[in-house]
Amino acid sequence: MTSELQRERLAYKRSRSRRSTLVALLSTAVFAVAVGVTVSRAPGWPRVRQSFFNVEIAWRSLPAVLEGLWLNLRVLAVCGALILVLALVVATLRTLRGPVWFPLRVLATAYVDLFRGLPLIILLYLIGFGLPALRLTGVPNDFVVLGGAALVLAYTAYVAEVFRAGIESVHPSQVAAARSLGLGPRKTLRLVVLPQAVRRVMPALLNDFVALQKDCGLISVLGAVDAVRAAQIEHARAFNFTPYVVAGLLFVLLAVPTARFADALARRARRRQGGR
Amino acid sequence: MRAPGLILAVTAAVLAVACAPADQTAPPTNQVDGVTCTKDKLPTLTPGKITFGTDQPVYEPWFVDDDPANGKGFESAIAYALAEELGYAKTDVVWTRVPFNAAIQPGKKTYDMDLNEFSITEERRQAVDFSAPYYDVDQAVITLKSSKAASVKTLAELKQVKIGAQVGTTSFDAAERLQPEQDVAVYNTNDDGKAALRAGQIDALVVDLPTAFYITSAELEDGLIIGQVPAGDGKPEQFGVVLDKGSPLTACVSTAVENLRADGTLGRIEQEWLSSAGTAPELK
């Protein structure tokens, strides 16, 4: 049963929210018009429009760019899954306690230090052109596979650090409580520490996921044609930058679902913690 | 509309050559498209100086030792010949390094003209100005003696091997036109293409003919030219100097190129730097 007063309160709240929506709409419109006028009145605008926003060239380059994007997505799916699993393993190795694990800890630390510091392009060259040049039997010689391996090596190091931060942020009392309930060290890690850790670092993980989305294209230095490379090819044909804009927009569209997913997760976390 | 300008330029060139005394040093005040092509009148970036752009690194046989200012290499020699033809001394020539993308962006340019093996196409004319062509180029395909592509003799056989090319080049377009069975692998530079060739990731690399001769003679120990690949639409492909779209210098530079062609300078420079570029068998 809502009281008269509460109904009034709700009505007032609704009217305020309607008003704020209207103000937001108006200010956005004013801003857009101001930007539009400034840009279109600029002396170089006709040439910029011709070079960057050429509808005809955009339409012509779309199929090639989309085909390239399909490669990006396949690489992203496979590498993303591998990175998650491997990074969790590396992070766990780095947080193992006890002297017996010392060599593993050192190895994991050395790996993270090396591959986090190495620029990705250099790593791609080393793995993509260096490894097959050794002519070892059994080493794959497909540039997509080799490029993917380099991406996995680099990003596993990043993501392992994110996981480690999560693991170390779980309060020691949680471990103590789990152990006092009779859980062994492995079960404690699996059932108590990791779930909390992963939940905590979700935003950082999604951030790395978006970065990976864009970096997948770097395998093009090894010869594969991804979305950006396809755009580059079209760009060189006509000396026109529009295909890059097309590829850029597609990448932004790709990143949007990830961002919304991250927001939804954050909202759920807030609800769980009793906020609003 | 470039055609009237070109006709004017060519006419002016022919006239200039026809009426020129044999031992003239500076060209007479020749007006092209209302611009006087003399050092004191040319609206260059820095008055009295002429600024050439080119990428970094640059490769033989076009430039030598990645130093465009030494006058060595085909395009460096062309640049200095053009400067001289326009009345600039060697000391008036300034070089600036301009990456490919920066060379063709629509904004203000950092160079007066750019020489970088730019092939002239109608489509590209919408974004930049080209001078008259200074070199007719052929595309060729190279491989290693140890590669399975070494035995290729026909275009049909060439289609069956894995082909690579440098991104954004007409070599890549030529590779695509072959319609090979496997996708053409694309590399940032011919250096990467060579690395992929050595690593066995591709069987053959498409490059322009002078580059093909250079790579197979000086860079790859067991390099081999398979042969020339046919041009796009039966027309020879040509290199031109790139200038800003609508640049006031274009007509003067085109006239200078035509003058150099008429007096044999272009041929001489080509002989000097690209003479090794004989001919490779034309693949059928």
pLDDT at position B274 is: 84
How many domains does chain A fold into? 1
Domain encompassing residue A253 = 61-274
A265 CA: distance to closest CA in chain B (Å): 40
Angle at B51 between CA B46 and CA B53, to 5 degrees: 145
The residue of chain B with its CA nearest to that of A235 is: B168
pLDDT at position B279 is: 66
Long-range contacts of A258-261 (CB under 8 A, 24+ apart): A258/A206, A258/A209, A258/A210, A258/A213, A259/A206, A259/A210, A261/A206
3-state secondary structure of A240: coil
Q: Is the dihedral of CA A47, A51, A54, A60 positive or negative?
A: positive
- The answer as to whether A21 is a domain residue is no
A245 CA: distance to closest CA in chain B (Å): 14
For the segment B178-193, what is each residue's pLDDT rounded down to a tens digit? 888 888 999 988 888 9
Q: What are phi and psi of A85, to 5 degrees?
A: -65, -50
pLDDT at position B230 is: 81
Is B102 part of the contact surface with chain A (CB cutoff 8 Å)?
Answer: no
Task: Report chain A's mean pLDDT, rounded to a whole number.
Answer: 88
- The answer as to whether A2 is a domain residue is no
Best probe of the A interface among B114, B116, B125, B167, by most A CBs < 10 A, is: B167
Query: pLDDT band at A31, cuts 50/70/90?
Result: very high
pLDDT at position A223 is: 83
pLDDT at position A162 is: 94
- The answer as to whether A100 is a domain residue is yes
Q: Which residues of chain B carry a pLDDT beneath 50?
A: 1-2, 6, 8-29
- The answer as to whether A270 is a domain residue is yes
């906020």: which residue's tokens? A275
Taking an 8 Å cut-off on Cβ atoms, the answer to whether B187 and A223 are in contact is yes
pLDDT at position B26 is: 45
pLDDT at position B28 is: 47
- The answer as to whether A194 is a domain residue is yes
pLDDT at position A41 is: 84
pLDDT at position B27 is: 46
% of chain A beyond a pLDDT of 70: 99
Say which CATH number the domain at A83 has. 1.10.3720.10
pLDDT at position B15 is: 45
Taking an 8 Å cut-off on Cβ atoms, the answer to whether B164 and A223 are in contact is yes
pLDDT at position B31 is: 64
The residue of chain B with its CA nearest to that of A146 is: B201
CB contact at 8 A, B140 and B280: yes
The residue of chain A with its CA nearest to that of B125 is: A238
Is B127 part of the contact surface with chain A (CB cutoff 8 Å)?
Answer: yes
pLDDT at position B32 is: 64
Taking an 8 Å cut-off on Cβ atoms, the answer to whether A232 and B183 are in contact is no
pLDDT at position B1 is: 45
B209 Cβ contact partners less than 8 Å away, ≥ 6 residues apart: B137, B138, B139, B140, B228, B277, B280
Structure tokens at A224: 């594969």
For the segment B117-159, what is each residue's pLDDT rounded down to a tens digit? 998 988 888 888 999 999 988 889 999 988 888 888 888 888 8
A70 Cβ contact partners less than 8 Å away, ≥ 6 residues apart: none
- The answer as to whether A38 is a domain residue is no
Bridge partner list, B163: B204
Select from A51, A141, A221 the Cβ nearest to the Cβ of B201. A141
pLDDT at position A33 is: 92
From residue A3, alpha-carbon distances to A7, A10, A12, A13 in Å are 6, 11, 14, 15
B24 CA: distance to closest CA in chain A (Å): 39
Residue numbers in A near B172 (CB within 8 A): 233, 236
For the segment A129-176, what is each residue's pLDDT rounded down to a tens digit? 888 777 777 777 788 898 999 999 999 999 999 999 999 999 999 999
- The answer as to whether A197 is a domain residue is yes
pLDDT at position B10 is: 45
From residue A119, alpha-carbon distances to A48, A123, A150, A151, A215 in Å are 33, 6, 11, 11, 12
What is the residue type of B212? A
CB contact at 8 A, A245 and A52: yes
3-state secondary structure of B34: coil
The residue of chain A with its CA nearest to that of B199 is: A133
- The answer as to whether A25 is a domain residue is no
